[in-house]
A and B are shown apart, each in its own frame.
Chain A
Amino acid sequence: QITLKESGPTLVKPTQTLTLTCTFSGFSLTTSGVGVGWIRQAPGKALEWLAVIYWDDDKRYNPSLGTRLTITKDTSKNQVVLTMTNMDPVDTATYYCAHRLITMVRGAKFYWFDPWGQGTLVTVSS
């Protein structure tokens, strides 16, 4: 059974750097095709993809967030860490991490997020 759980501060001040940790079980980030992503959701708003890291250390970021994001993995601890710099009140959101597996479907490679962690609410306020 795959499980993921997000952890980190619940409150950060504007301009500070947010560091979130996703601790997972039931899979390994050394297995070919496996990835872990981060997605956030501001209160009452839509989902917004942030970043994803793969078993081979390939990393992808949401271009709209520019260089604010960094995603890393620690395979020995089964953890993925997301850092977001220069936090602003508009970054107040529930932050989710999720598993993804590159899967062959009808002869092509597809991927989606499944399952997700329970999410952690981060509030940005002075």
Chain B
Amino acid sequence: DIQMTQSPSSLSASVGDRVTITCRASQTIGNYLNWYQQKPGKAPKVLIYATSTLQSGVPSRFSGSGSRTDFTLTISSVQPEDFATYYCQQSYNSDTFGQGTKLEIK
């Protein structure tokens, strides 16, 4: 099984900060990495798929990069509506989600 490890598990940021979340796969997954945003009480929504492709309607302040085993999600300037939990997911071999990163207001 492929394990996905996100870091940090939580972070505090102020509006306007640049934020980076890391996701590491236990083995190479090529570019088969997706990022989701989940707000309390709501279903997750895909932000980025195939490592770096922004889902339609997602603000350009979100970006993704990486390959093989190491990936990052970056928010260039955090907005109030971005405070949520973020999950990475590999789809290289079945599916596995990371443990999540909670982005909180500082």
Contacts and interface: CB of A to CB of B under 8 A. Distances in A.
B97 A48 contact: yes
Contacts of A2: none
B98 A46 contact: yes
B45 to A, nearest CB: 7
Interface in A101-126: 105-106, 108, 110-119
Contacts of B97: 39, 46-49
Contacts of A48: 97
A80 to B, nearest CB: 16
Contact of B46 (A63, A112, A119): A112
Nearest to A63: B1
A46 to B, nearest CB: 5
A116 B43 CA distance: 6
Q: What size tier do the contact residues of chain B reach? A: 20 to 34
Interface stretch (B14-22, B71-79, B88-96): B88-96
B1 A112 contact: no
B62 interface: no
Contacts of B94: 49, 52, 60, 62-63
B55 A114 contact: yes
B53 A117 contact: no
A64 interface: yes
B43 A105 contact: no
A110 B87 contact: no
B7 to A, nearest CB: 14
Nearest to B1: A63
Contacts of B89: 47, 49, 112-113
A1 B31 CA distance: 28
B43 A119 contact: yes
B1 to A, nearest CB: 6
Interface string A51-75: 0100000001011100000000000
A-B interface, 9 closest residue pairs, ranked by CB to CB distance from nearest: A116-B43, A49-B95, A47-B97, A112-B34, A105-B50, A114-B46, A110-B50, A112-B49, A46-B99
Interface of B: 1, 31-32, 34, 36, 38, 43-46, 49-50, 53, 55, 87, 89, 91, 94-100
